[in-house]
Amino acid sequence: MKVCVIGNGAREEALKEAVKNSPLCSELVESPDENPDLIIFGPEQPICDGLVDYYQSKGIRCIGVNKQFSKLESSKLYAKKFMVENNIKCAKLLPVECDIFPQVVKADGLCKGKGVKVVFSQQEKDEFTRKLNMPYFIEEFLDGHEISLMSYFNGSKLINFCPARDFKKLSEDAHSPNTGGMGAYCPVDLTQNQIDKLHIYLNKLETALINSKADFTGFIYSGLIWTKEDWYVLEYNVRLGDPECQVILNLLDNDFLSILLNNEDPVYKKGYSACLTIAANGYPDNPVKGDEIILPNSDKVKVYFAGVKKVKNKIYSDGGRVLSICSFGEKPFEILYEYAKKIKMNNKFFRKDINIF
């Protein structure tokens, strides 16, 4: 099969690597103009713009959510309606003027993970909503541990990947802003009760998709929080998470394309798979760009480029999230931190507190 992966971040680098390593792929092409047999969509923007519907109408097989269901990510209010109609637990909506804190402000549009903030005071709420510059709503604050549960809907059933944990905040400070993701690991160790409730939730999601006549093959990401002895949905994305995709693909022991095309269930290696984001100072608002990067050699760490520019034989930082470094084993973060410290890049920034828990 001739395969094209749309997108060019660290998640897509990992996807391209998995596709290239698959015996089902004869050629990996750069663009949909090169007549691929299959297009896999990475980021949400082309999905929400309706490009899956477009390429499908040209007869190309696509892995990506269609325009109608992309609203699960592009409109948080549409997602809320989907959850309520299908009896899926989620946070309650509150009146916009509600003055009980903490509460959660959510922009109703695509914001690359930066349109949500837990606010602890009226002042924090006012500052954030003024900056947002788009419609928003307020919801109840839920307290608990979060997991990212990524699934593949193959048109008739859900194939679920193991739970991953993502570190969304810029730092360990509860008031720090949300980012696209500063690190991740998988699998997440869950209690039997949590596993049982997860199966119940995933069955509900599958039934909801089937009952709402979902006719696509694509990824659905459920952002879940464990609270009040059950899983509550915080958000849906219509794509794989970044950096969650990198950690799942590096834990897989079977062929990723076989999962997508032959209904195979994922099989995993033993141990933990981890990823640490190397960002640039100033991220998420104003990242410093243009630093030369020199990477140490290591056979234990894989480096995916997230925001990097290549000029001749040199590489330079060119975005907020710059590198996604991945490792695998019993204590992968120890390996990643040792490596991260040795990366040469003037305005390098990474969280120092990420670990498996």
- Which positions lie near ligand GLY, rule CB under 6 A? 113, 166, 180-181, 237, 241-242, 244
Residue 229 Cβ, how far from ligand AMP at the closest point, in Å?
A: 16
Binding region for ligand AMP (CB under 6 A) out of 126-134, 137-145, 182-190, 205-213: 137-145
Residue 23 Cβ, how far from ligand GLY at the closest point, in Å?
A: 29
Measured from the CB atom, the residue of 168 and 197 that comes closer to ligand AMP is: 168
Query: Which of 10, 63, 116, 354 is the binder for ligand AMP (CB under 6 A)?
Result: 116
Residue pair 39/2 in contact by the 8 Å Cβ criterion: no
Buried b (16+ CB within 10 A) or exposed e, 140-177: ebbeeebbbbbbbbbeeebbbbbbbbbbbbbeeeeeeb
Q: Which does 146 bind (CB under 5 to 8 A by kind): ligand GLY, ligand AMP, none?
A: ligand AMP
Residue 299 Cβ, how far from ligand GLY at the closest point, in Å?
A: 27
Measured from the CB atom, the residue of 112 and 204 that comes closer to ligand GLY is: 112
Binding region for ligand AMP (CB under 6 A) out of 138-146, 196-204, 282-290, 299-307: 138-146
List the strands of the sheet with 308-311, edge to edge. Answer: 292-293, 314-317, 308-311
Measured from the CB atom, the residue of 306 and 343 that comes closer to ligand GLY is: 306
Q: Which does 91 bind (CB under 5 to 8 A by kind): ligand AMP, ligand GLY, none?
A: ligand AMP
Q: Which does 116 bind (CB under 5 to 8 A by kind): ligand AMP, ligand GLY, none?
A: ligand AMP
* Bridge-based pairing state of the strands 314-317 and 292-293: antiparallel
Q: Tell me how far apart the alpha carbons of residues 56 and 63 are, in angstroms, rounded to a whole number.
A: 10
Q: Which does 266 bind (CB under 5 to 8 A by kind): ligand GLY, ligand AMP, none?
A: none
Q: Counting contacts by CB under 6 A, is residue 354 touching ligand AMP? A: no
Q: Counting contacts by CB under 6 A, is residue 118 touching ligand AMP? A: yes
Measured from the CB atom, the residue of 67 and 117 that comes closer to ligand AMP is: 117
Query: Which of 73, 108, 139, 244 is the binder for ligand AMP (CB under 6 A)?
Result: 139
Residue 191 Cβ, how far from ligand AMP at the closest point, in Å?
A: 21
The pair of three-digit structure tokens given for residue 143, joined into one six-digit string: 């307290």
Helix (H) or strand (E) holding 234: strand 230-237
Binding region for ligand AMP (CB under 6 A) out of 141-149, 198-206, 208-216, 240-248: 141-149
Q: Which of 293, 177, 245 is nearest to 9 (CA)?
A: 245
DSSP 295-332: PPP-SS-EEEESSEEEETTEEEE-SSEEEEEEEEESSH
Q: Which of 161, 104, 118, 145 is nearest to 229 (CA)?
A: 145
Residue 104 Cβ, how far from ligand AMP at the closest point, in Å?
A: 4
The CA angle 206-42-110, to the nearest 5 degrees, is 80
Query: Which of 72, 91, 276, 303 is the binder for ligand AMP (CB under 6 A)?
Result: 91
**Nearest residue to ligand AMP, using CB?**
235
Residue pair 281/346 in contact by the 8 Å Cβ criterion: no
Q: Which does 187 bind (CB under 5 to 8 A by kind): ligand AMP, ligand GLY, none?
A: none
* Bridge-based pairing state of the strands 27-29 and 2-6: parallel
The pair of three-digit structure tokens given for residue 269, joined into one six-digit string: 């290696």
**Residues touching ligand AMP: how many (CB under 6 A)?**
15
Residue pair 53/67 in contact by the 8 Å Cβ criterion: yes
What are the CA-CA distances from residue 60 to residues 1, 30, 40 (Å)? 12, 15, 11
DSSP state at residue 123 = H
Binding mask 211-250 for ligand AMP (x = CB under 6 A): ------------x----------xx---------------
Q: Give the residues lining the site for ligand AMP (CB under 6 A).
A: 91, 104, 113, 116, 118, 139-142, 146, 168, 178, 223, 234-235
